[in-house]
Amino acid sequence: MRFLPFRLKVLGAFLTLLTAVLVSSLVLVDRSQTRQTKTEIRRQLEVARNVFTSLLRRRDLELNRSLSLLAKDHAFKQALATENMDTIVSTLQSLKSRVMADAIWITDDEGEVKESTLEEPFEARLSDLPIVESALDEHPASAVLRLAGVPYQLTAVPVLAPDVIGVLIAGFKINDAVALEIKTITRSEVSFENDGKIFASTLSDEAHKKALESDLASISDTDPTVIRIGTRRNLVLRAPVAQGVAAYLERSWDEAIEPLEKLRRLVFFVGLVGFLLTALVGLFVAGSVTAPVAELVAATKKLSEGDLDTAVDIRQNDELGQLGKAFNDMAGGLREKERFRSVLNKAVSKEIAEELLKKGMIELGGEERRVTVLFSDIRSFTTLSENLSPQELITQLNAYFKRMGAAIQRERGVIDKYIGDAIMALWGAPVSAPDDAVRAQRAALAMFAELDRLNDTRRDASLPPLKIGVGLNAGTAVAGNLGSESRASYTVIGDAVNLASRVEGLTKHYGAGIIVTASVREESSGADFLYRSLDLVRVKGKKKPIEVFELLGENAPPPDWLGDYEAAVAAYRAGDFTGARTGFGALADRNRNDPAVALYLERLQGLPGKADASWNPAHTMTEK
């Protein structure tokens, strides 16, 4: 997942929440306001419809009253019964002008029109009209009906004598005047429709009429319907009047909704300001959280890269402040630990490590120390490893290292490193002890004891025995952390170390197990080790020859040949080659397998009986 800064997340959450609240409140306000406005308009339109129907009713009532009065007039009845048509026509005319009707008819007792005030009578048979039928049945009736295509509000009243002798019918045209009258009262636009055509209206705009006409079918009797006139919107309510005739009452939606539009803009503006304010405050608040967190993150990163001197500076009296302090404490702890890590990483036993730490005895500075260095090596390791799979090689090496390591650690040695099959171990660093050299030699002897046991198990596993050589040297070396900052390792460097390595290299040449330098021997004078002199040797890179000894054992009685051997070595060094030859020859007879004796005899071949004055017994090693 893509990385999203916490600050943005917090801010995002804030703003999302705010937006949600704003939008929902806007929507809610909008909805309730819209609904309210719609309800208001609907109410107004319904009032308009009521006004319209009550207007129709009132006019009907007036007509009915006037017609009834005339129908009850005995003289009129008599005129009708006696078919005095002149009288009847004049009576109808005067009634027409009195009630301001558009037309008045009188029928006979079967509904056939006898007279009317119209100049041109309709073709329609009034006797077929339901109101006339009703009146013939002695029931006055009213309806809005179309006569010759013109909608009329009609009232029919029977003339009873006391049977029906005729029907009086009067009607108002439903026209612009009616619409205007309703508009005057209700302030709603009024249009009348007949069979999909607007025939009367208060609308003066023809496009508006057209728009209304095209939407007629969708307009409801109960729920005001929105129609569009260009960009304007009107709400229209239908008031059915008669078959095919309806009134449409209309109010502007835009005008009604204008306050809401204002409110909407206001809420939007307030919301926007709120949004920006929240964004600012949110950034600030989130910043107070994320800045220290970012600092902590950076510090942690540095820490993980090994920069233990990292510290954070968070001066906040809250959880983050505590976290910063905890971080600094942790870094401090790590620094402390790191100081000892290189030492502790050495294969020293836990007990020693803890002891060292407890006593604070470790000094890690680059300093000169008196150390005894041990190198060990498996002889002909290369040949050995040739026949092994890497897996087997590792297994066998680890078994070997385990035993050797144990032998070294038992003598408080520090395993400095493993170099292939070689081991480098230290005494005297990081802590010194007076018996460092003694312990180193004991460790070397223990290694051979361990090797014997290892070879026993190897023999059981039909593996060839391992042969090793161990070299020891004591001297001054520089101890300290070496390497890059992140991978520093505590070690010792110097001639003393190199010499120990060289000495180990001599073991093969001399066929010796353990070779120590004179300095080692000198530093373990208090102990009872058994040595034999090997040689004065000038190792590669060194001008000054050193004396090396083979360590034979500790607390062991010297073998019977040791005296003769030392005497032969002394003769050789003194230049008494004849004596040396005799001495080594006798030793070789006694112990045919002593490689050192064989080496000396070989050297003596071709040498004269006595050395001259330039004789230097030091042997220069040409091989490594």
Partner 1 sequence: MRNILLLSAVSAALAASSGLAPRPATIEATVLDQRGSPVEGAVVFAISGAVESPPAKTVEMTMKGMEFDPAFSSVSVGDSVSFPNQDSTHHHVYSFSKTKKFDSRLYKDGAPKVVEFDKPGLVTVGCKIHDWMKGTILVTPSALRAVTGKDGKAELRMQAGPSVKLGVYHPRLRGKPEKHDQEITLKDGKGAAAWKLPLKKESSGGKRPHKVYY
Positions in the binding site for partner 1 (CB under 8 A): 53, 56-57, 60, 64, 72, 74, 77-78, 81-82, 130-131, 134, 137-145, 153, 160-163, 165, 241-242
Kindly state the smallest distance separating residue 215's Cβ from partner 1, in Å.
23
Kindly state the smallest distance separating residue 142's Cβ from partner 1, in Å.
5
Kindly state the smallest distance separating residue 74's Cβ from partner 1, in Å.
5
Kindly state the smallest distance separating residue 265's Cβ from partner 1, in Å.
45
User: Which residue, 75 or 433, is less far from partner 1 as judged by CB?
Assistant: 75
φ, ψ for residue 593, nearest 5 deg: -95, 10
User: Which residue, 56 or 236, is less far from partner 1 as judged by CB?
Assistant: 56
Q: Residue 11 — left, alpha, or beta (φ > 0 → left; ψ -120 to 50 → alpha)?
A: alpha
User: Which residue, 145 or 203, is less far from partner 1 as judged by CB?
Assistant: 145
User: Which residue, 67 or 437, is less far from partner 1 as judged by CB?
Assistant: 67
Chain position carrying tokens 């009329």: 152
Kindly state the smallest distance separating residue 45's Cβ from partner 1, in Å.
18
Question: 514-517 and 468-482: which strand pairing?
Answer: parallel
Distances (CA, A) of 302 to 30, 294, 305, 339: 54, 12, 5, 17
User: Which residue, 54 or 578, is less far from partner 1 as judged by CB?
Assistant: 54
Kindly state the smallest distance separating residue 104's Cβ from partner 1, in Å.
18
d(CA 473, CA 548): 9
Strand partners, 145: 152
Tokens read off for 437: 């050299």
User: Which residue, 51 or 344, is less far from partner 1 as judged by CB?
Assistant: 51
> Going by C-beta distance under 8 Å and a sequence separation of 6 or more, which residues neighbour residue 231?
none
d(CA 274, CA 261): 20
**Nearest residue to 523 via CA among 559, 570, 476:** 476
3-state secondary structure 165-187: EEEEEEEEECCHHHHHHHHHHHC
Kindly state the smallest distance separating residue 139's Cβ from partner 1, in Å.
5
> Going by C-beta distance under 8 Å and a sequence separation of 6 or more, which residues neighbour residue 416?
346, 424, 425, 426, 491, 492
User: Which residue, 77 or 521, is less far from partner 1 as judged by CB?
Assistant: 77
User: Which residue, 162 or 390, is less far from partner 1 as judged by CB?
Assistant: 162
Which spans in 112-160 are helix H? 130-136
User: Which residue, 87 or 349, is less far from partner 1 as judged by CB?
Assistant: 87
Kindly state the smallest distance separating residue 144's Cβ from partner 1, in Å.
5
**66 CB burial (10 A radius; 0-12, 13-18, 19+):** buried
Q: 3-class DSSP state for residue 198?
A: strand
* Residue 522: CB atoms within 10 Å: 10
User: Which residue, 155 or 396, is less far from partner 1 as judged by CB?
Assistant: 155
φ, ψ for residue 263, nearest 5 deg: -60, -45
Kindly state the smallest distance separating residue 98's Cβ from partner 1, in Å.
20
Kindly state the smallest distance separating residue 175's Cβ from partner 1, in Å.
16
d(CA 471, CA 365): 27
Strand partners, 189: 250
